[in-house]
Amino acid sequence: IRELNIKYIQPLRVADEFIVETQMVDVGAATVKIEQKFVKGGNICAIINLKVAYLGADMRPKRMPAKFIDGLI
């Protein structure tokens, strides 16, 4: 994970039932931006935005293989 931002809007409790809506916002050469919304009863409780990087064996960002990108889209 390269970046992570969480916006809390209203609380969720352990026993609450909720839905996590996940969307790929942007797919770059070596990174993917993802947004997740935690929804309970039609109300958004939290929004998470994260950016993940594809790393090579040397632990440096590396261009994602086309097969990998095709599997994301």
pLDDT tens-digit series, residues 11-53: 999 999 999 999 999 999 999 999 999 999 999 999 999 999 9
Whole-angstrom CA distances from 47 to 15, 22, 30, 39, 68 are 19, 10, 23, 9, 26
Q: Which of 28-32, 52-56, 57-61, 66-70 has the lowest mean pLDDT?
A: 66-70
Please report the pLDDT score of residue 53 as a whole number: 94
The Cα–Cα gap between 35 and 72 comes to 14
Mean pLDDT estimate for the chain: 94
Please report the pLDDT score of residue 33 as a whole number: 96
Please report the pLDDT score of residue 67 as a whole number: 86
DSSP assignment string, 21-60: EEEEEEE-SSEEEEEEEEEETTEEEEEEEEEEE-B-TTSS
Beta bridge partners of 36: 22, 48
